[in-house]
Amino acid sequence: MSEATPPIRPPSLLRSAAVVSAMTLLSRLTGFAQTYFLSHYLGAGAAADAYAVALRLPNLLRRFAAEGTMTAAFLPTLTELEAKEGEAATRATAARFLGTLLTLLSALVIVVMLSMSFIAGLMVVGRLATGVPFAEKLAMLGHILSGSLPPPPEMALAVRLGRIMFPYLALVSLTAGLGGLLNLRGRFALASAVSIFWNLAFIAFGWTAIVFGRSHGWTSPEHIATICAVAVLVGGLVQLAVIVPSCLALGFSVRPGLYFKDPCVRLALRRMGPGLLAAGVYPINSYISAVLASNLPHGAQIVLLNSGMMGEMVLGLFAMSLATASLPALSRQAEAEDWHGMRGNLTEALGATGLLVIPASIGLAVLAQPICALIFRTGAYDAAAASWTARTIVFQCVGLLFVAASRVGTQALYALKDYRGPVVIAVSSMVLNVLLSLLWLRPLGTGGLALANGVSSLAGLLFLVVRLKPRLPQMPAGPVLKTWLISLLGAALMGLLAWKGIAWLGLGSPLHRYALALRLLPFIALCAALYGGLMLVLGHPQARSIGQKIYSRIAQKRP
């Protein structure tokens, strides 16, 4: 007999996305502070590259367990279970599933830490010799791993930092799982805000340790990189500690162990299987990019990390907010076969994605140089490294809309319980990405790697449309494209203003950071206001919906 539970009224998609976006905005602002801290103290040399390589490993592999894959399989399973058996069964299954996942991830952490010499070594293999064919570099790596040759300093540092940071994978994955449970209950704010605590903990621990280390003579870039690696782990512990009490208050917990006998745990893991393959393509792409980047000059790894962070800022602030908020609603509508409601939510999510990501991409590309000068040009991260990062960001911006739309659209496939489609799409995109990366690496450097990812994301989006069309009756392609064209027109006019503003305000000339901020930040706000006004004039449906809600809120507060 199923336990009766009071119905939970789901919040509107845009309202939920707004909550996630607000928390994500705070997260990105503290993330800028963390990036500024890292750039100031670590710079863009060999030690920074070793740190970027080591950090890339847990950040990439968490895509398997944390971002999207787990919640896309986990939440629909819990939604079905709650509808059939009630809340108590849902809580028990959630505890067993997260406990199983934590146990498996802990075993993975041990295996990878033992294999770190090979995994991290391959990512810096290009540094082993200059002008030597790649096959010979691989042979040298084999001799290093066998002990017949000593490892170069950058490789040894990358391996050490990787072993320090890799347990972060288990911490962040468990945090993501608990955040998914909060999302299931319509509580999006804390789950979206945990990275704020990670950023603040990183800065607090890192600054304290650096001050202490300098008093004891630990001033080398290698010492700074090691402190930052430990700070990553400290941040992971802090953000997990922040989210646990809220989950316990809702009756959720974690039971470490292997619960393969639980049918719902098996179902969620089985649904995760194809998603793991699909999500695994992103780490493979990024891993290949890191291996290729090791053939570029020192600084390429940290430049790729920073430019990717700027792209993820746009995606996290807008696309991931909509994707996170849309999955619970789409799952409920797919379960009830409410195709009209599902089309409406998907149209709204994709329209809002274009409304926000298109101008952000164009604005970031046009203003990349002054933005990077403001954020990255400090301390050990000199003007040349900041300019290099800006050039890479321009190429990064080409594919942001396609990546964002794919993340939202993939949620619809997961809600429809199509777990194989994302695998086919991801593998196809990966093959294209590798080919384009090899083609564009030499002429474009880090920009070629970023551009290859964007173009392959466009191909992935086209594959996604083909896969989704027969599964969702009357898929809303026409209305979505119409809103995107409106956004593109307004963003193009805004981009023209931004381009002219660089000369008008002298943003291309060397300026003190405070003078640059006083000119750049109000100008960005002006560009955003112009774009928002154009969207209202041109009749963008999501813009008008947001404008009406803001107006009604203001009207209610009037006496």
Task: Determine contact, residues 354/401, Cβ cutoff 8 Å.
Answer: yes
Mean pLDDT for 292-311 is 85
- pLDDT 10s digits, 137-186: 778 878 788 877 788 888 889 999 999 999 998 898 888 888 878 877 77
- pLDDT 10s digits, 66-88: 555 566 666 677 777 777 877 88
CB-based contacts of 33, cutoff 8 Å, min separation 6: 199, 203
Cα(329)–Cα(76) distance, integer angstroms? 10
State the Cα torsion 50-56-59-60 to the nearest 10°.
-160
Q: Write the single-letter amino acid at 451.
A: L
Mean pLDDT for 428-445 is 89
Rg, Å, the chain Cα set: 23
Average pLDDT, the chain: 82
**In the prediction, which pLDDT does 525 show?**
94
**In the prediction, which pLDDT does 113 show?**
92
Least confident piece of the model among 2-6, 113-117, 188-192: 2-6
- pLDDT 10s digits, 380-400: 888 899 999 999 999 999 989
* Res. 8: pLDDT tops 50: no
Q: What are phi and psi of 382, to 5 degrees?
A: -80, 180
Q: How far is CA 164 from the centre of its chain?
A: 22
Mean pLDDT for 206-224 is 89
Mean pLDDT for 224-249 is 93
* Res. 324: pLDDT tops 80: no
**In the prediction, which pLDDT does 147 show?**
76
CB-based contacts of 6, cutoff 8 Å, min separation 6: none
* Res. 329: pLDDT tops 50: yes
- pLDDT 10s digits, 409-435: 877 887 787 777 877 887 888 889 889
Mean pLDDT for 281-286 is 63
Q: Which of 156-160, 262-266, 312-316, 477-481 has the highest mean pLDDT?
A: 156-160
**In the prediction, which pLDDT does 36 show?**
85
* Res. 7: pLDDT tops 60: no
Least confident piece of the model among 10-19, 119-128, 167-176, 266-275: 10-19
Q: What angle do CA 295, 287, 58 make, to 5 degrees?
A: 125
